[in-house]
Amino acid sequence: MTKNGTRITPEGRPDPGWDFKTSTSLRHGLDRVFLALVFAATLVGLVVLAVLLVDVVRDGLPWLSWSFITSFPSSTPTYAGIYPALLGSLWLLGLTTLFSVPLGIGAAVYLEEYAADNWLTRLIEVNISNLAGVPSIIYGLLGLGIFVNMLGPITGGPSILSGALTLSLLILPVIIIATREALRAIPDTVREGGYALGATRWEVIRSHLLPMAIPGALTGTILALSRAIGETAPLIVVGAATYLTFAPDGPRSQYSALPIQIYYWVSQPQEEFNVGLAAAGIVVLIALLILTNSFAIWLRNRYQRRS
């Protein structure tokens, strides 16, 4: 691309850097170097991930035992366990699913199937994508101000309920975005076929659109939920306890969670805690994440075969 004798870039600016190199062997040599560079860049992340996993397992394995899973935290490292934190994480997972999934799917169905194309709808859309970029600790401050303090008499203050509500709001944008994409992928002929048979809007949604959207929506939703399990910062802010000697017994109970327990151990000065026990806790957390993600894959395959 030339103009008046000077080379220009695709954007139309003069490009002083483009000097045609006559040596093709040099250019092809640089090509090989460049390929090595981009390949190495792709591997950097994967290598770090592998090193991280090996390091965690190596540090944590000696501390892992059945009694680690079933014991309460203790100031004596060999007796310390993760039971209340594990139970707390399962409670959080259950309640967060209960709150966020219906809300998220409902919002996605509204935006995709009902909403008129006007400024209000666009406002909601911009708002959702903006919420997805808000740091998780800010959600913690929201939870602290609203759920823990303002609604304290209902939620029980720094309770499982407050924690789960905070996490639900945190992952809501992800669930909405995933469900909307799944709904958008369904061809309009399905909707029109349903209407032609006399079905109402909701009947079409319930009998056709939701079942068809489930595989896609489910994957995004479970990824979001596994993000919720691993979140630490917002739970610290809404007052998850770091040292709990009783198991949570209800939504209004005080609680700990796996990442919180790990954070507490990492912050201790003794190596038994900040390396050994913390790593063992991380192994349990990662095992839980792998479990939920495999569940997602299994569910998706099951639904995909059916439809």
Partner 1 sequence: MTVEAKRGARSGEWRQESRARHFRERTIKVVLTGCAYASVLTTFGIVFVLIFETIDFFRQVSIVEFLTATRWSASFADGDFGVMVLVYGTLLTTLIAISVALPVGLLAAVFLSEYASIRLRRWLKPALEILAGVPTIVYGFFALTFVTPLLQSTIFPNLQIFNALSAGLVMGVMIIPTVASVSEDSIYAVPRSLREGAYALGATKREVATRVVVPAALSGIVASFILGISRAVGETMIVAVAAGQLAQFGGPFESVQTMTAYIVQVASGDTARGTLTYSTIFAVGTTLFLMTLILNIISYWFVRRFRETYE
Q: Which is nearer to partner 1, 94 or 102 (CB)?
A: 102
Q: Which is nearer to partner 1, 91 or 231 (CB)?
A: 231
End-to-end CA distance of the chain: 51
The CB-of-35 to partner 1 minimum distance in angstroms stands at 6
Q: Which is nearer to partner 1, 200 or 306 (CB)?
A: 200
Q: Which is nearer to partner 1, 177 or 214 (CB)?
A: 177
6 by DSSP, 3-state: which? strand
The CB-of-149 to partner 1 minimum distance in angstroms stands at 6
Rounded Cα distance, 119 and 113, in Å: 16
Q: Which is nearer to partner 1, 64 or 107 (CB)?
A: 107
Question: Per the structure block, which two tokens stand in for 39?
Answer: 């390949």
Question: Per the structure block, which two tokens stand in for 242?
Answer: 């770091």
Rounded Cα distance, 141 and 163, in Å: 11
The CB-of-174 to partner 1 minimum distance in angstroms stands at 12
In single-letter form, the type of residue at position 216 comes to G
Q: Which is nearer to partner 1, 2 or 306 (CB)?
A: 2
Question: Per the structure block, which two tokens stand in for 288?
Answer: 């839980």
The CB-of-264 to partner 1 minimum distance in angstroms stands at 9
Helix boundaries (H) for the chain: 24-60, 66-70, 83-109, 119-131, 136-143, 152-155, 160-184, 188-196, 201-204, 210-230, 233-237, 258-266, 271, 278-306
Rounded Cα distance, 21 and 262, in Å: 57
